[in-house]
Amino acid sequence: MSMGSFSKKQWLVLSILMLVNFVNYVDRQIIFSLFPSIRRDFHLSFAQLGYLATAFTVVLSVSSFPLGMLADRFSRRWVISGGVLFWSAATFFSGLAGSFRSLLTARAFLGVGEAAYTPAGAAVLSATFPQEMRARVQGAFDMGMFAGGAVGIALGGLVAQWFGWRTAFFLVGVPGFLLGLCAMKLPEAPRVVSSEKAPLKEILRVPAFWALLLSGWFGSFAGYSYVAWGPELVQEYKGFTSGQAGVALGAMVVLGGVCGIATGAYLSDRLARVRAWGRAIVVPIGFLVSAPFLYAALHTGSKMHFLAFFGVGAFFMSWYHGPLTATIHDLVPARGHATALGFYYLFVNLFSMALAPLVIGRAADRYGLIRALHIPLICQLLGVLLFVVVIQCIRSHGLRHPVLARHWQEEETMLLSPQSLQA
């Protein structure tokens, strides 16, 4: 089946969810371009700015699991629609904030709305498209994420320069209300009673999975630090105006991120055919190669050199997205994929991405932002070492660790059953 043979229903689902994901990341990322303006208006420290990102991430992390359960037990389209409307209202009210505390509250509520959408949207996609198309469909869906993140950074900088930071929140909040109503046109996906799951306590006994968790912690800390503090860096230290900063960083996110993810995924699939650990080795290579370019970007005094170094660094840094998720799938039987990925994202969001803006903000208050951004560079290198441990674990035990042998065997038995062969 090709994308050209999609039914009207499938195109409707993909189009609506791509647009929702686009607006999702516009609303999520726009605040980073507004950091300098918000800091001046409310007379904030870097650490207080960090709390704005941390509050959102913490609420997003702790809300995703219960709201995902609600989507499975109630109506997925109602949960998606309600989530979009809720986060759009939170974005709009961010522009009305009269104090730092009220802005912090609005950004935290944004996390509730986005937590409602993410698991329900993934479930609708999986139920609407055949298994052999899911990777391509997910790739198209993720395009909305990168495009939205780039537009959020660019639009925030431009609007803040000409109309003020409050107008930026009003502008991006309104489309979400329309999309929330459009989400009611999504079809209701049937509930499927799944087979026995691979318990989390067994998955956590796989050494490679633990090393991957820790490596992902350091990599996510680094990546989110650059996204959160990039606009502040280029405006306060590199001589960019608010509008220039938004457009320049937005372009780098799109070019470096999209091309990097595509390259990393292609290389990992090719290398996986040669060695069991071939897919995993792409991650530490990307982290290692990007570090000197990002270091050079921090310390150059030229705008053009900064953009070149930062763009190349972002390209190599983003290699890890596809290979890391695919490595989790390689290490865990299919019946445990959702559990393993769910735990990974909970761990990374709550204990890494929620901390990154705050830690860098506190360090920037004390040592300056450029010196503070050496912390994510160190985290990248620690991520390299820990993913080398992942590779060593795979070389020692293979992709199928003995602790999960029962689940691998049962999965093979099901695939070889007469019913499966007839299907």
Q: Half-sphere exposure of residue 329, counting CA atoms within 13 Å on the CB side?
A: 10
Q: What is the pLDDT of residue 421?
A: 42
| Tokens standing for residue 69 | 């359960």
Q: Which amino acid is at 216?
A: G
pLDDT band at 287 (very low <50, low <70, confident <90, very high): very high
Q: Which residues of 385-408 are buried (b: 16+ CB within 10 A; e: fewer)?
A: ebbbbbbebbeebebbbeebeebb
Confidence of residue 122 (pLDDT cuts 50, 70, 90): low
Give the residue-averaged pLDDT of 189-204: 63
Minimum mean pLDDT range among 8-12, 136-140, 178-182: 136-140
% the chain with pLDDT above 90: 26
Across all residues in the chain, what is the average pLDDT? 82
Tell me the C-alpha distance between 73 and 89, whole Å. 25
E-strand stretches of 257-379:
none
| Two tokens, residue 147 | 């495009």
Tell me the per-residue pLDDT of 19-61, one tens digit each, with 9 for 90 and over. 888 888 888 888 888 988 999 999 999 989 889 888 888 888 8
**Residues near 315 by beta carbon (within 8 Å), at least 6 away in sequence:** 255, 256, 257, 259, 260, 263, 290
Closest CA to 381 of 279, 292, 265: 292
115-119, 240-244, 280-284, 359-363, range with the lowest pLDDT:
115-119
For the chain, domains (ranges, CATH) are 8-188 (1.20.1250.20), 197-415 (1.20.1250.20)
Maximum Cα–Cα distance across the chain: 69
Q: How many CB atoms lie within 10 A of CB 7?
A: 9
